[in-house]
Copies of this chain bind each other. A is one copy, B any other.
């Protein structure tokens, strides 16, 4: 058959990269569990009507069709699509299982998602997300909005990656401010300001006039608000200095002060209030989050989210929540592309047990068994070739040790230094730093 080729937008890491990814996922998961988030996986598919509730992404959905759909199945199957994020499935899960869940419900979810987008740098069609959310019934205390940056900060700072900066804003500040200056369509204003990074202030001002009916003074005020940024509560003074008064604005400022101060108490420099952060047209109603990887800002946010009040409701019961999502594939794709992450060997193996002759393979198996029983990743040599060839098998993979069984005594060789010592499979252990591959 002809040689297969990659499919654009569906990345595949090497085994070395996959070891790094697993390391990253283990660290993220460990942090999520330290904060008491319980793991959840939802099915990969949702009914199409669920997926389309978040209107803008409808064009990105992959629908499923059975190759040989038969009479009993097509109607149901044709209405299924692959989820494009983990928030919509989670909202559905909460509604479906509300009677069995304990609220507030804290869960994390690390899964692939799919979008039929045109692939480009940092944009994939299949990618891995790591989400946390907290939902409650009817009301959700604002202090949970201040907890999110702590979790994400700890998770990302546990990784061998550049520092991160979490940028926070609050939708109530924007909406309250826009109303306070007399704009009647705050959503249109938000949409315009959201384009600031892309089109610049002059064009945003034009857009504010066109789509939100803003006067020149109102547009200037919107741009002044979006220009405010501070790593502490001083952003509130800058907002007040704009002289706008509105109850929703005040509420938003107080909430954002709590977010910034809680983060500063936990990790100075982690969080910055940046009032241009808008998170598009999503379902957010309070705090919103974006995260920059320092030195990689041009690639955009690697971790985003916010508070939502209206994502899930059943009859008169609503389930407000707050959540944030790490774009794991996006993050790793950036760092792999920049060759900024490495691993000390291409296999988990720490020891290769040599085989002196094929008839003596059982003795080598016994050595491997003894080492594995004490947690040392061990392979037995593929063949009883000359020892030089067996050592090259280890070298090519970065396996640090080769073990030589012998009738009157065993020896183990560190093939990096060439040092070879007597050893017993029941007692010998590698230095801890050699036990598993080192990632940096």
Chain A residues within CB distance 8 Å of chain B? 1, 3-7, 10-16, 18-19, 21-22, 33-45, 47-48, 50, 58-69, 72-73, 76-77, 80-82, 92-93, 95-97, 100, 102, 104, 106-107, 112, 114, 116, 118, 126, 136, 141, 143, 147, 150, 154, 262, 265-266, 313-314, 346-349, 358, 361-362, 365-366, 369, 372, 375-380, 382-383, 396-397, 399
Contacts and interface: CB of A to CB of B under 8 A. Distances in A.
Contact of A66 (B15, B62, B104, B266): B62
23 contacts: A1-B314, A4-B47, A5-B96, A11-B43, A12-B93, A18-B39, A33-B377, A34-B372, A35-B377, A36-B347, A36-B349, A36-B378, A38-B348, A60-B66, A62-B77, A63-B65, A64-B64, A64-B65, A77-B116, A102-B396, A136-B382, A262-B362, A262-B365
Contact of A38 (B38, B60, B346): B346
B59 A67 contact: yes
What 5 pairs across the A-B complex have the smallest Cβ distances? A36-B349, A36-B379, A66-B116, A10-B43, A15-B38
B19 A38 contact: yes
* Stoichiometry (number of copies): 2
A41 B18 contact: yes
Contact of A59 (B68, B136, B154, B362): B68
A99 B147 CA distance: 48
B118 A72 contact: yes
Contact of A383 (B60, B141, B349): B141
Contact of A61 (B67, B154, B375): B67
A34 B80 CA distance: 40
A60 B65 CA distance: 10
Contacts of A66: 59-63, 116
B72 A347 contact: no
Which of A13, A47, A266, A348 gathers the greatest number of chain B CB atoms within 10 Å?
A348
Which of A4, A37, A60, A366 gathers the greatest number of chain B CB atoms within 10 Å?
A4
B348 A36 contact: yes
Given A66-B61, A106-B347, A96 B37 contact: no
Given A44-B126, A102-B397, A136-B382, 18 more contacts: A1-B95, A1-B313, A1-B314, A7-B47, A10-B44, A14-B97, A14-B100, A15-B39, A15-B40, A18-B39, A22-B39, A33-B377, A38-B348, A59-B68, A60-B66, A143-B361, A147-B380, A154-B372
Contacts of A379: 35-36, 106
Given A4-B92, A80-B7, A382-B141, A40 B18 contact: yes
Given A63-B67, A73-B116, A100-B14, A3 B314 contact: yes
Which of A16, A40, A118 gathers the greatest number of chain B CB atoms within 10 Å?
A40
A4 B349 CA distance: 47
Nearest to A369: B266
A96 B2 CA distance: 9
A7 B45 contact: yes
A62 B72 contact: no
Given A106-B347, A141-B382, A64 B67 contact: no
Nearest to A48: B67
Given A36-B378, A383-B141, A96 B6 contact: yes
A22 to B, nearest CB: 6
A35 B67 contact: no
Given A61-B67, A262-B365, A378 B35 contact: yes
Contacts of A377: 33-36
Contacts of A100: 14
